[in-house]
Amino acid sequence: MLEIKNLHAKIDEKVILNGLDLVVPTGEVHAIMGPNGAGKSTLSYVLSGRAGYQVTEGTATLDGQDLLAIAPNERAALGLFLAFQYPVELPGVGNANFLRTAMNAQRRARGETELDALQFLKLARVEMKKLSMDDAMLKRNVNVGFSGGEKKRNEVLQMALLKPSLAILDETDSGLDIDALRIVADGVNAQRGPNFSALVITHYQRLLDYIVPDRVHVLASGRIIRSGGPELALELERDGYAQVIAAAA
C-alpha cells in the first residue's frame, strides 16, 4: 500500500507539491489527472527519488517503509517502478544486459538467486511475445532509435519482468497511437491482481478506457482536490479541468 501524507516538495525554491494526501491500497489501480503544471510528474519523481527535488514536509511510505529516506535503487527493490514519460536512451548499453542487470540487482537486494543468461532469455521472450515485441529488441541499445511506441512497450516489458508491487505510469499514453495504446494497456492490465497496485498519471481520459481505474484523483496546484470513481474521469473530459477545479475551490 502506498500512503502519502501532507507531502510538500519544491524544486529550485519553487513549491510544486503543497500538502498532497493519497492512499493507494494494494491491489488497486488509481488514476491521477490534472492540468499542466499541477505537479503530476513531480509526484512521480519525488516518489521514485530523482535528484533535484526537495521534500520539505510530509511522508511517503510503501507497505510501511519510508520511501523518502532511501536511494532510488532501494525503492525499486522494495517494489516501486516508474514507467517514464520520456524513456531515456542508453547508447552502448544492450537492452538484454540492462534488463538482466536490473532484474538481478533487485533479486540480490531481496535475497533471491540471480538469473543466468538462459533463464533470463526465457522469461524475456515470454513477456516480449505478449507485447508483440521482436526478439531483436533485446540486442539493440536501450531505447536508442526506438519509436515512441517501442519505447513505451519497452517500459511495460521492464515492468512485466521486474514485477513491481507499485507501478507509477507517468503519461504512458503520450505519443502512442491507438494500437500501441491498447498493447501497452493490456500489458498493464496483465499485471493487475491482489499484489499489484498502480498510479496512472494522465492528462486524458482515453487511457482510462483501457486501464479502468478503481479511483480517480484530481491534482491541482500540488494537492489532490477531488477524488471519485471512474466516472470522475468522464466528468473531467466533459467539463474540463477549469470547471472542476473552480467547483472544488
| Interacting residues with another protein (CB under 8 A) | 48-51, 71-73, 75-77, 81-82, 84, 87-88, 90-93, 98, 101-103, 105-106, 109, 141, 158, 162
Q: Pick between residue 110 and residue 122 the one whose CB is nearest to another protein.
A: 110
How deeply is 175 buried, as exposed, middle or buried, from its count of CB atoms within 10 A (0-12, 13-18, 19+)? middle
Q: Shortest distance, CB of residue 115 to another protein, whole angstroms?
A: 13
CA distance 134 to 196: 27
Q: Pick between residue 53 and residue 204 the one whose CB is nearest to another protein.
A: 53
Q: How far is CA 106 from the centre of its chain?
A: 17
Q: Shortest distance, CB of residue 92 to another protein, whole angstroms?
A: 3
Write the CA distances from 118 to 115, 208, 236, integer angstroms: 8, 37, 48
Q: Shortest distance, CB of residue 121 to another protein, whole angstroms?
A: 18
Q: Shortest distance, CB of residue 93 to another protein, whole angstroms?
A: 5
Q: Shortest distance, CB of residue 119 to another protein, whole angstroms?
A: 17
Q: Pick between residue 109 and residue 248 the one whose CB is nearest to another protein.
A: 109
CA distance 118 to 195: 27
Nearest to 19 by CA among 34, 11, 10, 8: 8
Question: At which residue does the C-alpha cell 538469473 appear?
Answer: 115
Q: Pick between residue 68 and residue 90 the one whose CB is nearest to another protein.
A: 90
Q: Pick between residue 109 and residue 247 the one whose CB is nearest to another protein.
A: 109
